[in-house]
Amino acid sequence: MSQTPDFDEIINRFGTHSVKWDGMEPLFGVAAADGISMWVADMDFRPPQAVQDALKGMLDHGLYGYFGDDAAYHAAIRWWMSERHAWAVEKDWIFTTHGLVNGTAICVDAFTAPGDGVVLMTPVYHAFARVIKAAGRKVVECPLALEDGRYAMDFAAWDAQMTGAEKMLILCSPHNPGGRVWSVEELRGVADFCARHDLVLVSDEIHHDLVMPGHRHTVMANAAPDATSRLVTLSATTKTFNIAGAHIGNVIIADPALRARFAARMAALGISPNSFGLIMATAAYSPEGAAWLDALIPYIEGNRKLFDAGVNAIPGLRSMPLEATYLAWVDFAGTGMATEEFTRRVEKGARIAANHGPTFGLGGESYMRFNLATPRKVVAEAVARLQTAFSDLQ
């Protein structure tokens, strides 16, 4: 049965194998005793009740054999994409991977060869570069420009960077970090750029449900229908509904030739999803899931306003205006401090674990990323601690 979500509830996540909370002390040196974890992108909220009920149904039945019918799962994805994104997806276009980092890695494997270049618009989600490098491909960093304090695309500069060895571009849409919801014109610009340089276009839209009021995301498939022959779209329930541990993602490919190449790699790797992920994702892409999400967005927006007002009041700090995601991207450049110094103040002074900007690639050097998907009280406490840790700048 559906219940109104209580995003204010503080839920103790220590001792649950949570990388965010149990990893805070070993990974960031921020003591568990009174630290605040604001790094990896999962939320401190329970998922929709429909997801909990679906899992309880499995537990009550008590058998966990092979899963043999993904019809309901495919129908749920198609319903969600049509309802929330005005996108008509065919059942045969959908592949289910072990999450989207896995989906990205299979794309790299299927559509590029060792030594090829893969283009990223940096700073960007760090796991892209990790899988590209691990697969023996080259990361081609195309730095985003800053316009009025927000990220913008710089196609002229990027055209000049291309050598012909690049075979794929991974777009993060909406963008992590920085929270841009790319406009239709920008998305068309990306598709044209990929056409000019003959790149497979992987559009990672994992954050496309987490869009702040007043902004509208367009799926790449709708923004640039002429890009279909080179387009792979990644989406998932995991970020939207806070079920990242389910490790399940959708790779959606309309073009039959691209699909055949992706399917061949999936088959060669023997990848098939686990039943827990399928059951949870099916329950999430539902009217109950939609109602939960519609309650979540204004809560995140409230957290963002509180965080930005408090952080932007500290001289030298600037939080980028978020259009999507729950990840605040804070620039410390105005403090004049070295990266080590502002990081030390955040971790040792404010006792907050936040992602280090340089891990996001070129352009991230003076930044840290803070996860705002936590009860408002925690955000308020984090802001107060940051103000104290940088109080000499007031």
Q: Which stretch binds ligand PLP (CB under 6 A): 56-64, 94-102, 180-188, 279-287?
A: 94-102
Which DSSP letter does residue 358 get? G
Of 34-53, which residues contact ligand PLP (CB under 6 A)?
41
Q: Which is nearer to ligand PLP, 166 or 204 (CB)?
A: 204
The only residue of 24, 43, 89, 101 in contact with ligand PLP, by rule CB under 6 A: 101
From 221-229, 236-244, 259-267, 303-311, give the range in contact with ligand PLP by CB under 6 A: 236-244
Judge whether 227 and 219 are in contact, CB under 8 Å.
Answer: no
For ligand PLP, which stretch binds (CB under 6 A), given 25-33, 98-106, 137-145, 186-194? 98-106
> For residue 358, which of 348, 368, 350, 349 has the smallest C-alpha distance?
368
- Name the 3-class secondary structure at 171: strand
Chain residues 157-216 in contact with ligand PLP, contact rule CB under 6 A:
172, 176, 204, 206
Q: Which of 142, 236, 284, 311 binds ligand PLP (CB under 6 A)?
A: 236
**SS3 (DSSP) at 6:** coil
360: contact with ligand PLP by CB under 6 A: no
Interface stretch with ligand PLP, choices 99-107, 186-194, 298-306, 307-315 (CB under 6 A): 99-107
| Residues 6+ positions from 142 with CB-CB distance below 8 Å | 119, 120, 121, 122, 154, 157, 158, 161
Cα separation of 367 and 123, whole Å?
Answer: 10
Strand duo 249-252 + 94-97: pairing:
antiparallel
* Beta strand 166-172 pairing with 117-122: parallel
Residue type, 43: M
Q: Does 238 bind ligand PLP (CB under 6 A)?
A: yes
d(CA 374, CA 289): 19
Nearer to ligand PLP, 41 or 254 (CB): 41
Tally of CA atoms within 13 A in the half-sphere of 265 that contains its CB = 20
Count residues near ligand PLP (CB under 6 A). 13
Q: Which is nearer to ligand PLP, 273 or 310 (CB)?
A: 273
The minimum distance between CB 151 and ligand PLP, in angstroms, equals: 14
If binding is defined by CB under 6 A, does position 100 make contact with ligand PLP? Answer: yes
Is residue 125 a contact residue for ligand PLP (CB under 6 A)? Answer: yes
Q: Which residue number has the CB closest to ligand PLP? A: 99
* CA distances, 126 to each of 43, 185, 316 (Å): 19, 26, 25
Binding site for ligand PLP (CB under 6 A): 41, 99-101, 125, 172, 176, 204, 206, 236, 238, 244, 249
